[in-house]
A = this chain, B = another copy of it.
Amino acid sequence: MDVELHLKVQDLNARYVHAIDEDRLEQWPEFFAEDGRYRITTVENVERGLPLSLMYATSRAMMRDRINSLRNANVYESQRYRHAVSTPLIEPGSDGVVRAVTNFLVARIMHTGETTLFATGRYEDRIALDGQARFLEKTVILDSRQIDTLLAIPL
């Protein structure tokens, strides 16, 4: 077992969710490679082989646009996320690329203070670990299909 590799992935996950949870959304694209892919879908879509996405980006530039829209539309200010992220399952690949699967639970806190269990699911990630660790691909697979209309901030 490659101990350092495990901790690098855990550390990347921790930095990723803290940036979101602390509303440092401008940093979000920086966790991805320049042509990194980000997709939110549901377990139902995955099991049926459907290519549907609730959020989709294929570059850092698209992610920056997304955050700009959010900030201007001012939607994000009324809510916050808090992630609980479990230990990832890791499968080392070739060329310094690692696959990781990670469970998450996300609470949403409205500006009134109302707190709900907002989203659950797993991340399926491909990560480049040479140099600064970055996501080549991050697929967020939600357990529930009831979430789409409420989804503003990336997960």
Contacts and interface: CB of A to CB of B under 8 A. Distances in A.
Nearest to A85: B86
Nearest to A118: B115
Interface in A78-96: 80, 82-89
Given A17-B103, A87-B10, A109-B143, A117 B116 contact: yes
A102 to B, nearest CB: 8
Contacts of A71: none
9 contacts: A3-B7, A11-B87, A11-B89, A14-B103, A15-B89, A85-B87, A113-B147, A114-B146, A116-B117
A80 B43 contact: yes
A132 interface: no
